[in-house]
């Protein structure tokens, strides 16, 4: 393997890319479960309600009675994704695809196509900056990266938005690659790239923290024409978003304005969901191993001799010392963010220099997003997902180039290459914050949907439940914690409740509670049907 560039952009291997996209789709529709409640309650349930009039509608989608005078933000999400899913569900009804599994597969169709488009962008980026053989290797390394497989098939805003971000940034990156075939990159590419970034913003408003650094980098790099056409493409999507909000919420850009009020201006998100220190995401970045190896090799050796490297190392050490001494000198911790910021700026200086194998636009977007994300008070693990993917894609050219060089240097080098390359897949074996949750419960709920007229779920709350979507019909159901709760007592007296689900906490200490729950179901006339993992299904 060599890293000599091609004379022109080769044809995109869409069949191979579609196969590479299958693991994420199968992970979502076969395992079911969810990564976060939003996967169900901010997309599938809202679409179900829009289509059939039933489904759990969270507060973000509700109009308060005093909407005209309400001072609290409301309606903080737009209807783009639920409208698309609703159209698919209606189309499925026309051709007889209305079961739970059929609807979930229908919902996966646009997600799969978007994932294919994103991986196509990854392949083009690698083919442009390295060569075709190494582009195939890089494609599979990215496609089989654990977090991407977990997220890419899921109906979450982070999943939609990250795919649009990678696709859009690849369009805007094209002008930085002199290897690109003459006339292939131009205003059309850049306008389309801006439109794709606009769609990333529509599907997740938090993606502004990626888009703003990317657009600023275009100005820093003096790519003014690219900036202008990308802005024009983004404004077209922005107009569409404003019009959608006008038609659905009754006000231009209503959801965007109220989202900013809730999450940024008022501080309500941090007050309601908690806040964490700035360094919370740093350990999570270790989930992108080959990204850091790739970025390391993307920095030329002579750059490590520059004064900026000394600044980087000194700032990193100074940032680490207060954290290590926090137990004895807690006041020193307040200094750590400033040294960390200094180290980040020095790292950015090293990485954002022009290089034919280095997509600086991706690096600027990823680093900018991490900085902005770390500065916000409310933090969740899922928020870091776009950064993990952008860093991995940005590092892929440098990584596969190193792989190509190291592969020809003996068995020992090949072993090192194999271990690092496999590290992205290793997340399927070891626990991580991004593991799928409650998959057995959702699977049994989908099975129970055949013939269900009512369901009671024990040891589960509303936001952990499978909702109406996985029951497939407008039937009575309720979650409870214990047999003496009102929900369960009502279900025992109402003959419509013919299915029961129990979720075990899975510990030895909980075994008496598990036995008590099973006895309560059986005394109410339910019979045990099946156990999968921590979930048990009952019927009567």
Choice between 532 and 272, residue whose per-residue pLDDT is larger: 532
Q: What is the mean pLDDT of residues 419-425?
A: 66
Mean pLDDT across the stretch 37-48?
Answer: 94
Average pLDDT over residues 58-68: 86
Kindly state the tokens that stand for 388. 């993990």
Among 113, 94, 93, CA closest to 103: 93
Q: Which residue has the higher pLDDT, 3 or 410?
A: 410
Report the C-alpha gap between 508 and 457 in whole angstroms: 21
User: Could you tell me the pLDDT band of residue 265, with boundaries at 50, 70 and 90?
Assistant: confident
**Amino acid 401: pLDDT:** 83
- As a whole-number percent, the residues of the chain with pLDDT over 90 amount to 53
**Residue 404: both structure tokens together:** 């190509």
- Give me 314's structure tokens: 């000194």
Q: Residue range 195-217: average pLDDT? A: 94
**Count, residues in the chain:** 540
**pLDDT tens by residue, 103-129:** 999 999 999 999 999 999 999 999 988
Average pLDDT of the residues in 37-47 = 94
| The predicted structure's pLDDT at residue 3 | 46
Burial of 381 (0-12, 13-18, 19+ CB in 10 A): middle
Q: Give the distance from CA 45 to its chain's centroid.
A: 19
Instruction: Give the rounded percent of residues in the chain with a pLDDT score beyond 70.
Output: 77
Mean pLDDT in residue range 497-520: 91
The reply to whether the predicted model has a pTM over 0.75 is yes
Residue 319 confidence (pLDDT) above 70: no
Question: Is residue 53 classed as helix, strand or coil in its secondary structure?
Answer: coil
Gap between the Cα atoms of 403 and 121, Å rounded:
21
Q: Which of 4-8, 32-36, 420-424 has the lowest mean pLDDT?
A: 4-8
For residue 185, pLDDT over 60 is answered with yes
> What CA–CA distances, in Å, run from 488 to 454, 480, 485?
12, 7, 6
Q: pLDDT-based confidence at 18, cuts 50/70/90?
A: very high
Interatomic CA distance for residues 483 and 492, integer angstroms: 10
Please report the pLDDT score of residue 440 as a whole number: 94
What is the average pLDDT across 516-529?
94
If you average pLDDT over every residue of the chain, what do you get? 84
**pLDDT for res 430:** 64
User: How confident is the model over 472-477, as a mean pLDDT?
Assistant: 93
Residue 425, pLDDT above cutoff 80:
no
Q: Is the model more confident about 10 or about 165? A: 165
Question: Could you tell me which residue, 360 or 211, shows the higher pLDDT?
Answer: 211
Question: What mean pLDDT do residues 290-307 have?
Answer: 62
Domains contained in the chain, CATH given: 14-269+282-300+355-428 (no CATH), 439-539 (3.30.110)
Highest mean pLDDT among 275-289, 397-411, 504-518: 504-518
Report helix, strand or coil for 529.
Answer: strand
- What ranges in 352-428 are assigned the alpha helix state H? 360-375, 385-406, 411-423
Residue 1: pLDDT above 80?
Answer: no
pLDDT beyond 70 at 423: no
Number of Cβ within a 10 Å radius of residue 297 = 21
* Cα separations in angstroms, 194 against 49, 119, 171, 200, 351: 32, 18, 8, 10, 23
pLDDT in tens, 157-182: 999 999 999 999 999 988 766 544 44
């Amino acid at each position: 393997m060599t890293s000599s560039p091609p004379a022109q952009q080769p044809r995109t291997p869409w069949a191979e890319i579609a196969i590479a996209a299958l693991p994420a789709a199968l992970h979502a529709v076969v395992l079911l479960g969810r990564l976060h409640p939003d996967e169900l309650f901010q997309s599938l349930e809202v679409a179900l309600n829009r289509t059939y009039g039933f489904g759990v509608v969270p507060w973000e989608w509700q109009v308060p009675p005093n909407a005209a005078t309400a001072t609290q933000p409301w309606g903080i999400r737009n209807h783009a994704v639920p409208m698309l899913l609703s159209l698919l569900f209606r189309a499925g009804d026309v051709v007889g695809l209305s079961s739970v599994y059929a609807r979930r597969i229908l919902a996966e169709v646009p997600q799969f196509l978007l994932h294919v488009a994103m991986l196509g962008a990854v392949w083009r980026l690698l083919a442009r900056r390295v060569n075709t053989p190494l582009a195939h290797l890089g494609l599979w390394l990215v496609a089989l990266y654990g977090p991407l497989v977990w997220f890419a098939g899921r109906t979450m805003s982070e999943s939609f938005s990250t795919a649009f971000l990678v696709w859009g940034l690849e369009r805007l990156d094209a002008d930085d690659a002199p290897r690109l075939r003459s006339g292939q990159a131009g205003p059309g590419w850049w306008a389309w790239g801006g439109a794709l970034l606009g769609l990333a913003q529509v599907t997740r408003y938090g993606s502004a923290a990626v888009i703003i650094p990317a657009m600023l980098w275009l100005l820093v790099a003096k790519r003014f024409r690219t900036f202008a056409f990308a802005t024009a493409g983004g404004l077209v999507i922005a107009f569409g978003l404003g019009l959608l909000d006008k038609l659905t919420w009754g006000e231009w850009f209503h959801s965007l304005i109220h989202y900013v009020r809730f999450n940024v201006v008022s501080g309500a998100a941090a007050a309601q969901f908690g806040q964490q220190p700035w360094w919370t995401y740093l350990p999570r970045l270790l989930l992108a191993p080959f990204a850091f190896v790739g970025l390391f090799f993307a920095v030329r050796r002579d750059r490590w001799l520059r004064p900026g490297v000394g600044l980087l190392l000194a700032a990193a050490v100074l940032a680490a010392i207060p954290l290590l001494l926090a137990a004895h000198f807690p006041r020193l911790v307040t200094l750590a963010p400033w040294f960390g910021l200094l180290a980040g700026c020095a790292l950015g200086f090293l990485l954002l220099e022009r290089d034919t194998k280095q997509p600086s636009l991706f690096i600027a977007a990823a680093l900018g997003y991490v900085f902005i994300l770390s500065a916000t008070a409310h933090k969740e693990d899922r928020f870091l997902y776009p950064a993990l993917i952008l860093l991995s894609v940005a590092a892929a050219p440098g990584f596969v180039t190193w792989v190509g060089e190291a592969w020809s240097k003996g068995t020992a080098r090949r072993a090192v290459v194999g271990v690092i390359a496999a590290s992205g897949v290793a997340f399927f074996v070891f626990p991580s914050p991004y593991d799928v949750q409650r998959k057995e419960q959702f699977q049994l709920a989908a099975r129970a949907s055949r013939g269900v007229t009512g369901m009671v779920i024990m040891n589960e709350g509303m936001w952990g439940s499978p909702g109406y979507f996985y029951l497939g019909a407008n039937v009575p159901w309720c979650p409870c914690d214990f047999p003496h709760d009102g929900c369960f007592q009502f279900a025992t007296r109402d003959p419509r409740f013919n299915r029961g689900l129990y979720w075990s906490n899975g510990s030895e200490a909980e075994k008496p509670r598990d036995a008590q729950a099973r006895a309560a179901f059986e005394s109410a006339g339910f019979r045990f049907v099946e156990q999968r993992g921590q979930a048990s299904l009952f019927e009567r």
